[in-house]
Structure 1
Amino acid sequence: MTTLKVAIITGASSGIGRHTAIALSAAGWTLALTARRLAQLEETKAACASPESCLLIDGDITNEEFVKGLFEQTVKKFGRLDLLFNNAGMSDKARPIEEMPLELFTSVVNVNLIASFLCTREAFKIFKSQTPTGGRIINNGSLAAHVPRPNSAAYACSKHAVLGLAKSSAIEGRKFDISVTQIDIGNAHTSMAAGHTLGALQPDGRRVVEPTFDPVHVAQTVVHVASLPNSVTVLEMNIMATGVPYAGRG
């Protein structure tokens, strides 16, 4: 008998979220996909190997009541939860910190950190109450969780904080077989990183063309980590284009 494996993916309407949905579906996972844009979620669903095993729930991932409903609907539909991919993200437009509007800073933190916290909290409730207990959380991090780019205070702060969330939730999850991973991604070729191919601002003021890579490789990495038993944790990992100036950034 095939064991049902259920995953929630946030930000599933495009980019890494869409690629990951396609890859997990091909690997036999049942999916709850969420994002703001229902039409694009429908496109993601249509691209999956088993569209009939995809539940679409559109809404605002920073809204507490919506997040509670997302997890409740998923468990009501499928009976359990095995994986949460905290993928939804937002970048600030590069600007000096003195020109950063509070509204923009707050929006980036809300999407990248607060939404990840809300989803992690609701996943923990399910993971600790289901039989057997356990589950896996994977956070979409960034190289900026370790070494920021110039003029990116909001994004860098949020991704540093998400790494803290990953580490603290990993500690809390240990005795319940809840494993937590942060995948720090460098220049996957999505709409957020595509501009780096035209020239990315470096700390010394130069603009340097940076390589990108196909986000399908991130999706395959998520599938691999998700395939591990919950008794095995990959706490942090990095995947990036080989030529990205990360180790020497700064």
Structure 2
Amino acid sequence: MSKQLPAKVALVTGAGSGIGRAVALGLLEDGYTVVLAGRRAEPLQALVDSAREQGRKALAVPTDVRDAASVDALFATVEEVYGRLDVIFNNAGVNAPAVPMDELDVEHWLNVLNTNVTGVYLCCRAAFGLMRRQQPQGGRIINNGSISAHVPRPFTAPYTASKHAVLGLTKSLALDGREFGIACSQIDIGNALTELSVRMTKGVRQANGEIAVEPMVDVKHVADAVRYIAGLPLSANVLNMTVMATNMPFVGRG
């Protein structure tokens, strides 16, 4: 009789709502033990309770990805409880008000960069270290980018700059991780319908200044894409994947 392998361990940041929650649910369905990180404890614990009712394993660890000590505590918990990490989905992110650059205050700029860039760096750094020293060595890092990593919307300089930075970080880790069996991917999402993006169904500013309603895509398709990448053997990688509403103005933007 073959020995049953332990469930793989996945970590999702920003897991309390939206894309993070959908991905966490999908990974739980795939049999992963899922560590749920986010700033709000209540939605994380609700997800843990729901998973437990279905016979699945999850652990809530309230975390502020902007804070190095908080991220270190998160990964210390992962290592202490599970001893390893197989997949991380770096999803936590924020945006800034859509205003001309000269009307954007420094606090909003720093909040976006601290969350979307430094937060991803801190989690990648800790995940890389754990995956490098664990046995068997290796793992998979998946970063939530955006189509804004390639083409901006009007008045989104902070968010666009942050996602361009994530793209560079992803490519660097994909290179640096080869030696240690660490694969790194980025998924660029366009118009996934979540609690935060529902406002877009009422219209979004276009490059010509008009406000237009854009098509949206079910967040389930994003979760399924992350699940596909997570399920690949470490000998294969999807470096970059775009999941978007078919008719949204991405191609041809500008």
Same fold (TM over 0.5): yes
Matched, 1:129 2:133: yes
Q: Is the 8 A contact 1:20 1:222 kept in 2?
A: yes
1:6 aligns with 2:9: yes
Asked whether the 8 Å contact 2:34–2:58 carries over to 1, the reply is yes
Q: 1:73 aligns with which of 58, 72, 77?
A: 77
Q: How do 1:1-250 and structure 2 match up within 5 A?
A: 1-48=4-51, 50=54, 53-250=57-254
CA RMSD of aligned residues (A): 1.2
Cα deviation for residue 75 of structure 1 reads: 1.3
- Residues 105-162 of structure 1 show CA distances to partners (whole Å, capped at 9, x for unaligned) of 0001111110100000001111110112110000111110000000011100001100
User: Residue by residue, what CA displacement relative to the aligned partner does 1:169-190 show, whole Å, maximum 9, x if unpaired?
Assistant: 1110011111111000000001
Q: How many Å apart are 1:241 and its aligned residue?
A: 0.7
Q: Which amino acid aligns with 1:44?
A: L
Residues in 2 aligned to 1:245 and 1:228: alpha-carbon distance in whole angstroms: 31
Aligned-residue sequence identity (percent) comes to: 45
| TM-score, length basis structure 2 | 0.95
Q: CA deviation at 1:47?
A: 3.5
- Any conservation in 2 of the 1:6–1:83 contact (CA below 8 Å)? yes
Q: Which amino acid aligns with 2:243?
A: I
Residues 80-119 of structure 1: per-residue CA shift (max 9 Å, x gap): 1001100001011111001010110000111111010000
Structure 1 runs (4+) deviating above 6 angstroms are none
Aligned counterparts of 2:142 and 2:127: Cα–Cα separation in 1? 11
Kept in 2, the 8 Å contact 1:6–1:80? The answer is yes
- The aligned amino acid for 2:94 is M
Distance in 1, Cα, partners of 2:91 & 2:72: 17
Q: How many residues align?
A: 250
In 2: Cα distance, 1:223 partner to 1:8 partner:
13
Amino acid at match of 1:83: V
- What secondary structure sits across from 2:175 in the alignment? helix
2:241 partner amino acid: M
Q: Distance in 2 between matches of 1:240 and 1:110?
A: 26
Q: Which runs of 5+ in 2 are unaligned?
A: none
2:5 alignment partner AA: T
Gaps (5+ residues) in structure 1?
none
Instruction: For 1:146, give the aligned amino acid.
Output: H
- Structure 1 contact 91–192 (Cα < 8 Å) conserved: no
The amino acid that maps onto 2:114 is N
Which secondary structure does the structure 2 equivalent of 1:48 belong to? helix
Q: Given that residues 182 and 237 in structure 1 are in contact (C-alpha distance below 8 angstroms), is that contact kept between their aligned partners in structure 2?
A: yes
